[in-house]
């Protein structure tokens, strides 16, 4: 039975970590008399509260395939800035506000640099780490800042029932952060970005801004850490935060968050944080010098990264082992025998599909053009699609087919030309705008996230939501499962485990998931870019049946294909692109296989007489082979 709540991301396979934690506790407990005391437990909690708060932000970033090495620098800079305000103004809340604001600004700087520089966040934040650290020395003239009011110091030293306030704040933030990651729609998107950034983008997730926001949240959390620690210590110092990033990243990676992104669980991170806390405390009990502590933590990080690699390797191996064999399908499309009559419809059993009388114009593209540098990918994309109609776009490699549909689906903006949907001119800032307008696309480069389950892939970008206890907004996984089951069933797709990672499905099943996502209720235009390229005859027949079904339900359908039999089996109308221009656009009944091949290959001058040219028999044989 499928659970009502699905865990996003491939599950962590590192069970050894909790064991390491238990072994450490046992070892230090047995070795040192005072280790197992309430006061030492509280000291450990106090010390790890800063790591725990910072680990929330680091977890979000690493899950989404990013990282922030500058948190130590942020720690120092926020600490001295907060200390200056606390000392000079004497106003506690102003100092707290300034600390949090500084963290937010530093996070925003990181986010914008990562977004616009388009280079590894590792390098960007290595640079900002040095800048922030240097600024901390500049602001404080290299000295500690102290002399705060009691009210400010109280913030860091207050206790509720003997439990220090920073520990309570850390626990509350950790629970909220973990819950948000696992149960919110945006949390799912972080896993999606970490699993396949391109797929997340094509599905309509605003990847860039989401990542900027993550850096901002991370900076804000560092503001909380720095304010609490500065208050507790009674001073702000530029030396604080040295190697803090090492502790935090070690906790997160040790906690099972894959460094490559797309996997991890807050419970694991909690154990990672606890392990680091116990290790630090134990090393202090053992009386080891600071450098030994550094060496130990560095080694633990390397160990965690090594385990991460091994886990990744094992995962890849098990995916290969688990991958189901494609449904028995002895006749691959490309190698299929030519049909005796040359009637391609028979091949896919769609011959009886009634050609509908086309309805209203759903999409009208006029003069669409797009350049990439010096390459004119599209010069003149002009055609229309009517409700209930399947329009096949054909053309040679590089003819501009994918570019044309990427303009219509909001992936690229046109340099020239217009798009009208239901008679209204539209402009899309991104794929999500096109989806909102009612255009669903199945891209050639399968826009699925391999680390997410079937249901989560299907709802991505359009996640159902509900309010838990009437107030807390969460992703509605029960609705997601119901939606996925209905959609798959209506399309005749047999998949039972809604949480099975899509990376573990066969190519055909993966394709089914992305097609099912596109076939949502009320969709106006469905675009399928080479949906059958990697499929066998049975699966191709299914996909074409689904495309036909979408048109019969009143949507306009654009289907891009190289396979001439697919075109004749499905199309109501055919549009031929050559060198970025529409050179032919007519009902499928008005063109023969031979002529269509000629048009695609540029063997016929479109302005010349219509009708077959050349050796008809040979060309029809080629057509039947799907060349
Ligand atoms: N993002 C891009 N950057 C640079 N050039 C591009 C980009 N996208 C497409 N092109 C170029 O534009 C031209 C048209 O490409 P497009 O992918 O639209 O053709 P296609 O008809 O879909 O080809 P295929 O059938 O091989 O997928 C090609 O020369 C391609 O190299």
Protein residue with least CA distance to atom 16, ligand 1: 400
Give residue 165's pLDDT: 94
Q: φ, ψ for residue 195 (rounded to 5)?
A: -80, -45
How far is ligand 1, taken at its centre, from the CA of residue 377, in Å?
6
Instruction: Give the Cβ contact number of residue 621 at 10 Å.
Output: 14
Cα 30 to Cα 17, 24, 25, 26, 34, distances in angstroms: 20, 10, 8, 6, 10
How far is ligand 1, taken at its centre, from the CA of residue 206, in Å?
23
Taking only Cα atoms into account, the Rg of the chain, rounded to an integer number of angstroms, comes to 30
Mutual angle of helices 207-233 and 150-157, in 10-degree steps: 110
Protein residue with least CA distance to atom 12, ligand 1: 377
How far is ligand 1, taken at its centre, from the CA of residue 278, in Å?
55
Q: Reduce the DSSP state of residue 365 to 3 states and report it.
A: strand
Protein residue with least CA distance to atom 30, ligand 1: 398
Protein residue with least CA distance to atom 1, ligand 1: 372
Test site for ligand 1: of 198, 400, 405, most ligand atoms within 8 A of the Cβ: 400
Q: For 57-198, where are the E strands, in sequence order? A: 145-146, 159-160, 163-164
How far is ligand 1, taken at its centre, from the CA of residue 403, in Å?
6
Protein residue with least CA distance to atom 28, ligand 1: 398
Residue 625: pLDDT above 60?
Answer: no
How far is ligand 1, taken at its centre, from the CA of residue 412, in Å?
12
Give residue 50's pLDDT: 95
CATH code for 38-314?
1.10.3470
Q: Does an H or E element contain 330, and which?
A: none
Protein residue with least CA distance to atom 29, ligand 1: 398
How far is ligand 1, taken at its centre, from the CA of residue 401, in Å?
8
Q: In this predicted model, which residue has the larger pLDDT, 14 or 233? A: 233
pTM, to two decimals: 0.83
The per-residue pLDDT for range 9-36, each reduced to its tens digit, is 877 656 667 777 888 888 888 888 888 8
Confidence of residue 320 (pLDDT cuts 50, 70, 90): low
How far is ligand 1, taken at its centre, from the CA of residue 458, in Å?
27
DSSP alpha helix (H) spans, 286-400: 290-322, 344-348
Q: Which two tokens stand for residue 344?
A: 């391609």
Candidate from 55-64, 277-286, 404-413 with smallest mean pLDDT: 277-286
Query: What mean pLDDT is reported for the chain?
Result: 85
Residue 326: pLDDT above 50?
Answer: no
How far is ligand 1, taken at its centre, from the CA of residue 375, in Å?
9
How far is ligand 1, taken at its centre, from the CA of residue 372, in Å?
9
Residue 166: pLDDT above 90?
Answer: yes
Confidence of residue 230 (pLDDT cuts 50, 70, 90): very high
Residue 398: pLDDT above 60?
Answer: yes
How far is ligand 1, taken at its centre, from the CA of residue 381, in Å?
14
Residue 189: pLDDT above 90?
Answer: yes
Test site for ligand 1: of 402, 534, 566, most ligand atoms within 8 A of the Cβ: 402
Report the range out of 11-15, 189-193, 538-542 with the highest average pLDDT.
189-193
In the chain, the percentage of residues whose pLDDT exceeds 70 is: 88
Confidence of residue 613 (pLDDT cuts 50, 70, 90): very low
- Read off the pLDDT of each residue in 140-150 and give the average, rounded to a whole number: 93
Residue 465 gets the label, from left (phi > 0), alpha (psi -120 to 50) or beta, of beta
Test site for ligand 1: of 373, 374, 377, most ligand atoms within 8 A of the Cβ: 377
Candidate from 175-184, 582-591, 599-608 with smallest mean pLDDT: 599-608
Q: Does an H or E element contain 390, and which?
A: strand 390-395
How far is ligand 1, taken at its centre, from the CA of residue 578, in Å?
12
How far is ligand 1, taken at its centre, from the CA of residue 518, in Å?
23
How far is ligand 1, taken at its centre, from the CA of residue 366, in Å?
20
Q: In this predicted model, which residue has the larger pLDDT, 29 or 492? A: 29
The per-residue pLDDT for range 341-359, each reduced to its tens digit, is 344 444 555 544 445 456 7
Give residue 284's pLDDT: 84
Protein residue with least CA distance to atom 2, ligand 1: 372
Confidence of residue 282 (pLDDT cuts 50, 70, 90): confident
- Read off the pLDDT of each residue in 369-381 and give the average, rounded to a whole number: 89
The per-residue pLDDT for range 453-483, each reduced to its tens digit, is 999 999 998 899 999 888 999 999 999 999 9
Contact at 8 Å (CB) between 242 and 294? no
Q: Which of 48, 74, 49, 46 lies closest to 61, judged by CA?
A: 74
DSSP code for 397 = T
Confidence of residue 327 (pLDDT cuts 50, 70, 90): very low
Using the atom order of ligand 1, give the atom closest to the CA of residue 580: 14
Give residue 493's pLDDT: 77
- Read off the pLDDT of each residue in 506-525 and give the average, rounded to a whole number: 83
Q: In this predicted model, which residue has the larger pLDDT, 586 or 17? A: 586
Give residue 305's pLDDT: 76
Alpha carbon distance 435, 41 (integer Å):
52
Protein residue with least CA distance to atom 10, ligand 1: 377
Protein residue with least CA distance to atom 26, ligand 1: 397
Alpha carbon distance 574, 231 (integer Å):
71
The per-residue pLDDT for range 97-128, each reduced to its tens digit, is 999 999 999 999 999 999 888 889 999 999 99
Protein residue with least CA distance to atom 5, ligand 1: 372
Ligand 1 cavity residues, CB under 6 Å: 372, 375, 377, 395, 397-403
Token pair 């029932």 is found at: 161
How far is ligand 1, taken at its centre, from the CA of residue 76, in Å?
49
Domain chopping of the chain, boundaries: 38-314, 344-438+524-624, 449-521
- Read off the pLDDT of each residue in 42-61 and give the average, rounded to a whole number: 93
Please name the residues in contact with 142: beta carbons below 8 A apart, sequence gap of 6 or more. Answer: 238
Report the range out of 26-40, 318-332, 366-380 with the highest average pLDDT.
366-380
Using the atom order of ligand 1, give the atom closest to the CA of residue 412: 1
Alpha carbon distance 263, 545 (integer Å):
36
Q: Which of 132, 146, 119 lies closest to 237, judged by CA?
A: 146
Candidate from 269-283, 577-591, 611-625 with smallest mean pLDDT: 611-625
How far is ligand 1, taken at its centre, from the CA of residue 17, in Å?
47
In the chain, the percentage of residues whose pLDDT exceeds 90 is: 46
How far is ligand 1, taken at its centre, from the CA of residue 474, in Å?
40
Alpha carbon distance 130, 69 (integer Å):
10
Residue 56: pLDDT above 90?
Answer: yes
- Read off the pLDDT of each residue in 318-345 and give the average, rounded to a whole number: 43
Test site for ligand 1: of 368, 375, 394, 575, most ligand atoms within 8 A of the Cβ: 375
Alpha carbon distance 219, 322 (integer Å):
41
How far is ligand 1, taken at its centre, from the CA of residue 409, in Å?
15
Residue 318: pLDDT above 90?
Answer: no
Using the atom order of ligand 1, give the atom closest to the CA of residue 399: 21
Give residue 463's pLDDT: 93
DSSP annotation string for 271-303: HHHHHHHHHHHHHHHTT--HHHHHHHHHHHHHH
- Does ipTM exceed 0.85? yes
Using the atom order of ligand 1, give the atom closest to the CA of residue 378: 14
Residue 414: pLDDT above 70?
Answer: yes
Using the atom order of ligand 1, give the atom closest to the CA of residue 404: 18
Test site for ligand 1: of 202, 397, 403, 406, most ligand atoms within 8 A of the Cβ: 403
Test site for ligand 1: of 372, 564, 580, most ligand atoms within 8 A of the Cβ: 372
Q: Which of 46, 75, 368 lies closest to 241, judged by CA?
A: 75
Confidence of residue 168 (pLDDT cuts 50, 70, 90): very high
Q: In this predicted model, which residue has the larger pLDDT, 394 or 330? A: 394
Measured in residues, the chain has a length of: 627
CA triple 350-356-361, angle to 5 deg: 125
- What is the second-level CATH architecture of the domain 344-438+524-624? 3-Layer(aba) Sandwich (3.40)
Protein residue with least CA distance to atom 7, ligand 1: 372
- Read off the pLDDT of each residue in 182-205 and give the average, rounded to a whole number: 93
Give residue 110's pLDDT: 97
Using the atom order of ligand 1, give the atom closest to the CA of residue 400: 18
Query: How does 216-251 read in b/e, with b if 16+ C-beta sit within 10 Å?
Result: bbbbbbbbbbbbbbbbbbbbbbbebbeebbbbbbbb
Give residue 255's pLDDT: 87
């Amino acid at each position: 039975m499928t659970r009502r709540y699905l865990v996003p991301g491939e599950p962590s396979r590192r069970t050894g970590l909790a064991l390491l934690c238990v072994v450490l506790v046992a070892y230090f407990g047995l070795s040192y008399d005072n280790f197992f005391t309430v006061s030492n437990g509280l000291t450990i909690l106090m010390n790890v509260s800063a790591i725990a708060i910072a680990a929330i932000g680091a977890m979000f970033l690493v899950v989404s395939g990013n990282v922030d090495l500058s948190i130590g620098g942020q720690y120092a800079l926020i600490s001295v800035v907060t200390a200056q305000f606390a000392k000079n103004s004497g106003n506690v809340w102003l100092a707290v506000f300034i600390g949090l604001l500084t963290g937010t600004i530093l996070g925003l700087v990181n986010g914008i640099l990562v977004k616009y520089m388009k280079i590894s966040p590792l390098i960007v934040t290595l640079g900002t780490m040095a800048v922030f650290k240097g600024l901390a020395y500049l602001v404080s003239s290299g000295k500690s800042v102290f002399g705060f009011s009691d009210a400010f110091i109280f913030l860091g030293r207050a206790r509720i029932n003997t439990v220090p306030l920073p520990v309570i704040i850390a626990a509350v933030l950790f629970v909220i952060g973990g819950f948000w990651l696992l149960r919110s729609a945006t949390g799912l998107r972080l896993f999606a970005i970490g699993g396949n950034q391109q797929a997340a983008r094509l599905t309509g997730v605003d990847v860039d801004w989401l990542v900027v926001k993550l850096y901002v949240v991370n900076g804000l959390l560092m503001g909380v850490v720095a304010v609490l620690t500065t208050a507790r210590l009674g001073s702000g110092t530029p030396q604080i935060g040295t190697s803090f990033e090492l502790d935090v990243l070690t906790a997160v990676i040790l906690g099972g968050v894959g460094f490559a992104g797309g996997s991890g669980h807050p419970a694991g991170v909690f154990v990672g944080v606890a392990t680091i806390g116990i290790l630090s405390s134990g090393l202090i009990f053992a009386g080891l010098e600071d450098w030994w502590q550094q060496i130990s933590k560095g080694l633990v990080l390397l160990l965690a990264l090594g385990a991460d690699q091994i886990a990744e390797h094992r995962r890849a191996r098990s995916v290969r082992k688990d991958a189901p064999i494609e449904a028995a399908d002895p006749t691959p499309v490309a190698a299929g025998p030519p049909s005796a009559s040359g009637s391609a419809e028979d091949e896919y059993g769609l011959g009886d599909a009634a050609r509908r009388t086309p309805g209203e114009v759903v999409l009208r593209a006029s003069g669409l053009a797009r350049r990439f540098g010096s390459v004119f990918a599209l010069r003149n994309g002009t055609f229309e699609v009517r409700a209930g109609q399947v329009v096949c776009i054909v053309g040679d490699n590089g003819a501009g087919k994918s570019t044309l549909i990427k303009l219509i689906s909001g992936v690229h903006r046109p340099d020239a030309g217009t798009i009208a949907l239901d008679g209204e001119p539209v402009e899309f800032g991104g794929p999500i705008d096109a989806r909102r307008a009612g255009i669903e696309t199945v891209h050639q480069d399968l826009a699925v996230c391999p680390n997410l389950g079937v249901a989560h892939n299907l709802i991505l970008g359009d996640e159902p939501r509900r309010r838990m206890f009437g107030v807390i907004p969460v992703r509605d996984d029960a609705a997601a499962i119901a939606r996925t089951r209905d959609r798959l069933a209506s399309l005749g797709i047999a998949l039972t485990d809604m949480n099975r990672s899509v990376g573990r499905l066969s190519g055909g099943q993966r394709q089914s998931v992305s097609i099912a996502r596109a076939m949502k209720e009320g969709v106006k235009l469905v675009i399928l870019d080479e949906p059958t390229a990697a499929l066998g005859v049975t699966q191709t027949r299914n996909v074409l049946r689904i495309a036909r079904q979408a048109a019969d339900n009143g949507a306009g359908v654009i289907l891009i294909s190289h396979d001439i039999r697919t075109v004749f089996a499905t199309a109501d109308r055919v549009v031929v692109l050559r060198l970025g221009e529409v050179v032919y656009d007519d009902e499928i009944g008005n063109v023969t296989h031979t002529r269509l091949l000629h048009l695609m290959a540029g063997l016929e001058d479109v302005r010349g007489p219509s009708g077959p040219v050349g050796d008809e028999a040979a060309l029809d044989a080629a057509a039947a082979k799907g060349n």
